[in-house]
Amino acid sequence: NKSYLKNKFPKRKKNSYKYNFGNVLTIGGSKGIMGAPLLTAMAALRSGSGLSTVTYNQKYINHIHNPYPVIMVDTFDGLEEIPNQVRGKSVVVFGPGLGKNDSVNIDILSYLLSLEIPLVVDADGIFYLKQVIKEYSERENIIITPHYNEMATFLDLEVQDVKYEPVLLAKNIAHKYNLTVVLKGTCTIITNEEDTYYSIYGNPGLATAGTGDVLTGVIASLLGRGFTPIESAKLGVLIHSKAAELAAGKMGEESMIATDLIKNLSRVIKNA
């Protein structure tokens, strides 16, 4: 419930500096959806991360536009540049806006899975994860954040099948692949198989482009700051939902957009 946020963000020490609060890398973006990883990266900063970087495939260089000067932007031609970009990061997000048409993404995800760095896989990243996850089922510190369509694709099921047994399917995936699962919906289900939680605080105004990318950024920020995967998922969903309530109160459910959530993250965390 909402009181769960209480005392989760203690006052910062006077001698704090940015590397105390997490260094987030988001790998994503493709033609037509270059903004998705930027929403994730900005949400991470607004959730308290000290640094946030987005890296794009070099072939989209002419499509890059970064309206946030606080977000660092990098590019890669292939897998060979990823190790250097991952170095020093406390968490990696893989998938926002990534698209499903580039085989290099399989190589990158396989490399990330071979490391111990905490990982959040979202959106198109789940499409690639399906193809390699069996080889890394013992890997820890992975959170996936599918909506029902993405869950159905991951399991080779129809969406109606997921709607019929969402809790069972989410727990099965968590058990089989050692994942923390955030199954987004009217009632969001959060599970690592051992523990399962439910959040009903979202509102229909979240049915707009980019709100899932914002949630991913919040969860990644918490994971990169040292919260456990299940705690990051629970806190992230709650913070995101409360920001949505504030956004709907000001903008209305018809008009609120993903950036309205980012603007309200600070209010939620400040009043936690």
Residue 3 has pLDDT above 90, yes or no: no
Cβ neighbourhood burial of 251 (10 Å; 0-12, 13-18, 19+): middle
Q: So what's the pLDDT on residue 1? A: 82
> What is residue 100's predicted lDDT score, i.e. its pLDDT?
95
DSSP characters over 72-128: EEEEESSGGGHHHHHTT-SEEEE-TT--S--THHHHHHHHHHTS-S-EEE-THHHHH
Q: How confident is the model at residue 272 (pLDDT cuts 50, 70, 90)?
A: confident
In angstroms, rounded to a whole number, what is the distance separating the alpha carbons of residues 29 and 63? Answer: 10
Q: Is 51 helix (H, G, I), strand (E, B) or coil?
A: strand
Range in 23-27, 118-122, 215-219, 268-272 the model is least confident about: 268-272
Residue 231, pLDDT score: 97
* The pair of three-digit structure tokens given for residue 66, joined into one six-digit string: 């970064």
For residue 2, the model assigns a pLDDT of: 80
Query: How many angstroms separate the CA atoms of 92 and 83, rounded?
Result: 12
Contact 268, 247 (CB under 8 A): no
Look up residue 31 and give its amino acid: K
**Mean pLDDT, residues 60-75 taken together:** 96
- Please report the pLDDT score of residue 197 as a whole number: 97
Q: pLDDT digit string (tens) for 12-66? A: 999 999 999 999 999 999 999 999 999 999 999 999 999 999 999 999 999 999 9
| pLDDT value for 163 | 97
Per-residue pLDDT reduced to its tens digit, 175-207: 999 999 999 999 999 999 899 999 989 899 999
Confidence of residue 212 (pLDDT cuts 50, 70, 90): very high
